[in-house]
Amino acid sequence: MASWDDKYDLYQKRQTLLSGQSAADELTMEADLALQSLGGILARTLSVDDRVNWETLKDRSFYAYPIDFPEARPSKVTPDPPVYVIPKVGFFDVIMGKKASILARSEEQYATAMQEWSDAEAQRTNIWENAVGEWKKRSNAFWDGHKTQEKAFKAEQAASHAEVDRLAAAVASGEEEAVIEHASLVLERSDYDGLFEKSYLLQYDRPRKLLKLAYDLPSIETLPTIKAVKFVKATGELKESYITERERKNNFESVAYQICLRTVHELFEADESGNMDAILFNGFVEFIDPATGLQNRSCLLSLLVDRTSFCAIDLSRVEPKACFKSLKGVSAASLASLAPIAPVMDLDTEDRRFVDARAIGASLDESTNLAAMSWEDFEHLVRELFEREFASRGGEVKVTQSSSDGGVDAIAFDPDPITGGKIVIQAKRYTRTVGVSAVRDLYGTIMNEGASRGILVTTADYGPDAYKFMAGKPITLMNGANLLHMLEKHGFSATIDIKAARISST
C-alpha cells in the first residue's frame, strides 16, 4: 500500500507539472497573438465592407407565440355507479315469509344509492362545466392578449423599419444629423477585438462636406505587454515576462497611427452618398500626469485629409506613421511622450442664434435677488457663470436669443471628447417648483440639438417627478442652492428670496 501511495503521489506531481506547463504554453500563445494583433489593426479593416446595409438593421423576426396555453384543461373524474347486489335469503327467511321484504328493502337501498350517485354526478358535471367555461375564458384571454402583443410588436417593427428607411433617405440627402448618425453606426461596427472602449465626438459641416471627429485613443497602459509565461517547477507558479519599455512605446505609436488611418478609411468607404469630401481626425489620450499626479488629456495627433488624396493610397502596403506624415498630419515627434499638439481644427462653435454676451456678475451684491431678476439678465448671468466654470478646460459658452418659453438659453462647447461636447443650458428664473415637464422639454432639446448633455438651472427647486425622470439621462439639475454655491465659487454674491419675488411680481 505504501508503494502504491508513493507511485500515486509521483503520478500527481507529474500531472501537476504537465498541467502547469500546458497552461504556461497556452498563456504564452495568447500573449503572442495579442501582441501580433496590434500590428494588424489597419490591415484587418481592408477585408471588411464598411458600407451600412440598411436592410440588416431591420428586425425581421416573428412574434414568439407560446406553443400552448400553460393551464391544463380541467378534467372530470366520475366514480362508478353503485352495483346492485342480490341479497342472500336464508331458508328460515323463506319459511317465515320474509323474502319479499328483504328483496324490497335491498332494492330500495339500491335506488337510494343510485339517486345519491346521480345527484352527486350532476353536481360534479356542473362544477366541471363551470371550470371548463372559466378555463376557456382564460385561454381566450391568453391568446387574445398575445394577438394584441403581436399587433403591437408588428407596429413597433414597422415603425423601426420606417425609421431605418427615413435615416437612409436622410443620409442620401446629406442631412446633418443623419450623416452624424450614419458615421456613428460605422464607428460602432468597427471591431477592435475588445482592445479598448470606443469614445468619440462627431460634428458635420454640410456646406464644406467636412466630417470632424474627436476620437479617444487607447492609453499606453491599456495595451497588452505580456511577452511570455513560464511555469516554475520549484514553486508551481506561472511567471510572466514583459516586452521592453521601448517596445511598449513603439506599439502605442503604431496603434495610434493605425487607428487614425483605419477610422478615416472606414468613414470614407461607408460614405456611398458622397457626403464627405474631407475628414478631420483629432486623436486624444487620457493619462495621469507624472509631474502632478492629476488626470490629464492631450490631443496627440490631428489629420485633415480630403477624399481624393486618401483614396489614392494603397493602405495594404503603407507604413502607418509615414502615411500619416505624407498626408500632412500633425503629431509630436514621439506619441509616447504624450506631448499635446494644437489640432489642425477645433470644434465648430458657430451658431446663428448666438447674441453678444453681457457681463452681469460684476453688478451683483448681497442685496441682489436672483428670483426677481429680469429673464435676459438671468440668462446672461448663467452664461457668464458657466463660462468661468469651463474656462480651465478651454471651453466656450454662448447665450442665444432671449426666450422665456423653455428654448435653448445658452450652449457650452467643451473640448473634452468624453465629458464635454455640445452642452445645452436652460435657465429658469422661477418662483415655483419646476415640474417634470420642463425636464422632459430639456431632454427633447438635447436630442434635437444633438448635444451630449443638458443642464437646467433654476432659482427654485424641482419636484420629485423631475428628479425621477432625469435619473440615468445626460441631465444635470441645479436648484437655487446649487446656483448660489456656484456663484460663490466664482466670486459672486447674491441671494434668492422666492417670497419677495412673488410679491414684487404681483
Residue 331 CA to residue 396 CA, distance in Å, equals: 25
More confident residue, 340 or 315: 315
Predicted local distance difference test score (pLDDT) of residue 149: 93
pLDDT range class, residue 326, cuts 50, 70, 90: very high
Residue type, 292: T
Going by the DSSP 8-state scheme, the letter that residue 172 receives in this structure is H
Predicted local distance difference test score (pLDDT) of residue 444: 82
pLDDT at 352 over 60: no
Predicted local distance difference test score (pLDDT) of residue 384: 86
For residue 244, what is its C-alpha cell? 521592453
Predicted local distance difference test score (pLDDT) of residue 318: 95
Paired residues of 140 in beta bridges: none
For residue 386, what is its C-alpha cell? 458657466
| Chain segment 216-240, per-residue pLDDT in tens | 999 998 899 999 988 887 777 888 8
pTM of model > 0.75: no
pLDDT range class, residue 197, cuts 50, 70, 90: confident
pLDDT range class, residue 8, cuts 50, 70, 90: low
pLDDT at 347 over 60: no
Are the CB atoms for 214 and 282 separated by under 8 Å? yes
Residue 480 CA to residue 486 CA, distance in Å, equals: 10
Residue 506 CA to residue 502 CA, distance in Å, equals: 7
Question: Which of 430, 432, 377, 433 lies closest to 406 in space, CA to CA?
Answer: 430
Contacts of 416 (CB under 8 A, 6+ apart): 297, 393, 395
Paired residues of 303 in beta bridges: 281
pLDDT range class, residue 25, cuts 50, 70, 90: confident
pLDDT at 16 over 70: no
Are the CB atoms for 218 and 196 separated by under 8 Å? yes
pLDDT range class, residue 245, cuts 50, 70, 90: very high
| Chain segment 283-306, per-residue pLDDT in tens | 999 888 777 777 788 899 999 999
Residue 317 CA to residue 314 CA, distance in Å, equals: 6
Cβ-based neighbour number of residue 428 at 10 Å? 22
pLDDT range class, residue 449, cuts 50, 70, 90: confident
pLDDT range class, residue 2, cuts 50, 70, 90: confident
For residue 256, what is its C-alpha cell? 495610434
Predicted local distance difference test score (pLDDT) of residue 407: 47
The CATH classification number of 361-505 equals 3.40.1350.10
Q: What angle do CA 176, 177, 178 make, to 5 degrees?
A: 90
| Chain segment 177-195, per-residue pLDDT in tens | 999 999 999 999 999 988 8
pLDDT range class, residue 501, cuts 50, 70, 90: confident
Helix, strand, coil abundance in the chain, percent, nearest 5: 50, 15, 35
pLDDT at 480 over 50: yes
Are the CB atoms for 430 and 404 separated by under 8 Å? no
Chain position carrying cell 478651454: 394
| Chain segment 158-169, per-residue pLDDT in tens | 999 999 999 999
Taking the CA atoms of residue 467, residue 472, residue 474 and residue 475 in that order, the dihedral angle to the nearest 10 degrees is 0
CA atoms lying within 13 Å on the CB side of residue 363: 11
Helix (H, G, I), strand (E, B) or coil at 288: strand
Predicted local distance difference test score (pLDDT) of residue 354: 58
Q: What is the mean pLDDT of the chain?
A: 87
Residue 244 CA to residue 385 CA, distance in Å, equals: 48
